[in-house]
A and B are shown apart, each in its own frame.
Chain A
């Protein structure tokens, strides 16, 4: 099959890296091709045709030219620059964090339309800056789901028996929550306990996966979200097998806010 030399797609700018005097390598998450890195030539010149269109977190429509090693960005038009997100330091830190997650979990040149959609939807939610903490967690949960890493929270992952309302052991190797009987026989030292509050929100997330949540659904107190945040952060670090670079700044900003 002959591939077109030029292709066009919706994309979100995840990160940038300087290359030479005036160029940058831009990493995009695209609707049709998954994660793509491409050279934007001359983008650092003041009179560049790209202007501010390739800023991190911009939702753009871009045309790419295929290259031998890296493709190049031929044209780029901004669809949404999330203006209000850019005026709030916490929202910027949250936006960069979800961009880092997509950079880690998104596969090169493998389309995952649902992942693209939750990325742009979460950026729009952060742009409104209401319940931003909730939207980041809801994004993380769905990121795990659409990447195939979502654990089981409703039934015991070992014996499939329904779980009651109490603190439970989470086993990352088995990929879910264990009932007290299975937890007693669990010899995995990587397991940890998830609180009732945390599990309630996680189960709510799991039952809502096929729904579109609105601002009314997101009105959960930040205290109730704390255990979910800790759980998702530890589990994602376990899956990714690395620390996330942007969490240090995100936590610092939140600490200063409080």
Chain B
């Protein structure tokens, strides 16, 4: 049986319905967010509304790396100090942000906007793979870092990319797999621990 929450006024119900459509927001959370907005000062609500609008009207995809950007090419692709011999392939724009936070990678990116997922009927043509191949043909890239998620679909995607790019002679690498910093060895699962041992390094 579906639960309905009576809001008392149509605009309030409309906002609750809109919030409910967001990922991870259920009807109760949507109701809480709506009543929080009602109590919010009008200027703050306007700032939020204009931020949402500007994301939709001003944000586009970079024509080179497919990262989300306000200007095309994006700030990373147009930064002349970055190392153009390396491209890091990631699944989503959020992965670029996570890697940028590490401050250890100074190359370029390529966002696939998905992953090969046979069980969901998503194949290589449904993600930004063809533009990657084209980009590699037109550039002086010497290393491709395939940073897809370490799960079955991410691994399948990385293997497919490896198969596709290997004949070009470009060096293909992937991030090390292993134990999380601050984690306990005894709680690590066999697959993670096994890969950590396989990928051990000299002191």
Q: Which residues of A approach B to under 8 Å, CB–CB?
A: 15, 20-21, 46-47, 49-53, 55-57, 78, 81, 83, 86, 89, 92-93, 96-97, 99-100, 103, 245-246, 248-250, 252-253, 256
Contacts of A55 in B (CB 8 A): 151-152, 191
Chain B residue, CB-CB nearest to A14: B119
Q: CB-CB < 8 A to A47: which residues of B?
A: 180, 182-183
Q: Are B119 and A246 in touch, CB under 8 angstroms?
A: yes
> Is B175's CB within 8 Å of the partner chain A?
no
User: Which residues of chain B have C-beta atoms less than 8 A from A46's C-beta?
Assistant: 180
Using A47-B183, A52-B150 as known contacts, say yes or no to A245 and B192 having CB atoms under 8 A apart.
no
Residues of B participating in the A interface, judged by any CB pair closer than 8 Å: 23-24, 116, 118-121, 123-124, 150-153, 155-156, 159-160, 163, 180, 182-183, 187-192, 194
Look across to chain B and name the residue whose beta carbon is closest to the beta carbon of A88: B159
Q: Chain A residues with Cβ under 8 A from B188's Cβ?
A: 51
Interface of B is mostly: helix
- Answer whether A246 and B190 are a contact pair too, CB < 8 Å, given A47-B180, A89-B163: no
Does B152 lie within 8 Å of A245, measured CB to CB? no
Bound Cα distance A42, B55 (Å) = 29
Tell whether, in the assembled complex, residue A248 and residue B121 are in contact, meaning their CB atoms are under 8 Å apart: yes
Assess A21 versus B24: contact at CB under 8 Å? Given A92-B159, A246-B118.
yes
- Nearest chain B CB to A49's CB is how many angstroms away? 7
Beyond A89-B160, A248-B123, whether A49 also contacts B187 by CB under 8 A is yes
- A86, B152: Cβ atoms closer than 8 Å: yes
**What are the nearest 7 A-B pairs in CB distance?**
A51-B189, A245-B121, A246-B118, A249-B118, A52-B191, A89-B159, A20-B24
| Chain A minimum-CB-distance residue to B155 | A86
Complexed CA–CA distance, A20 and B24 (Å): 4
A42 CB to nearest B CB, Å: 13
- The answer on a CB contact under 8 Å between A56 and B119 is yes
Bound-state CA distance A99–B156 (Å) is: 15
Contact B191 A96 (CB under 8 A): no
20 residue pairs of the A-B complex, CB under 8 angstroms, read A20-B24, A46-B180, A47-B182, A51-B187, A51-B188, A51-B191, A55-B152, A56-B119, A78-B191, A81-B190, A81-B191, A86-B155, A97-B118, A99-B119, A100-B119, A248-B118, A248-B123, A249-B116, A252-B124, A253-B160
Known: A56-B151, A78-B189, A96-B119. 5 other contacts (CB 8 A): A52-B192, A53-B190, A92-B152, A96-B156, A103-B119
- Shortest CB distance B24–A (Å): 4
Bound-state Cα–Cα, A81 to B180, Å: 20
For B160, the chain A residues whose CB sits under 8 A away are 89, 253
A103 to B118, CA, bound (A): 14
Chain B residues with CB under 8 A of A103: 119
Contacts of A53 in B (CB 8 A): 189-191
User: A84 CB to closest chain B CB, in angstroms?
Assistant: 12
Report B21 CB to chain A, min CB distance, Å.
14
Query: Considering the chains assembled together, what is the distance between the CA atoms of A13 and B187 in angstroms?
Result: 21
Q: Is the CB of A249 within 8 A of B123?
A: yes
Nearest chain A CB to B150 CB, angstrom units? 7
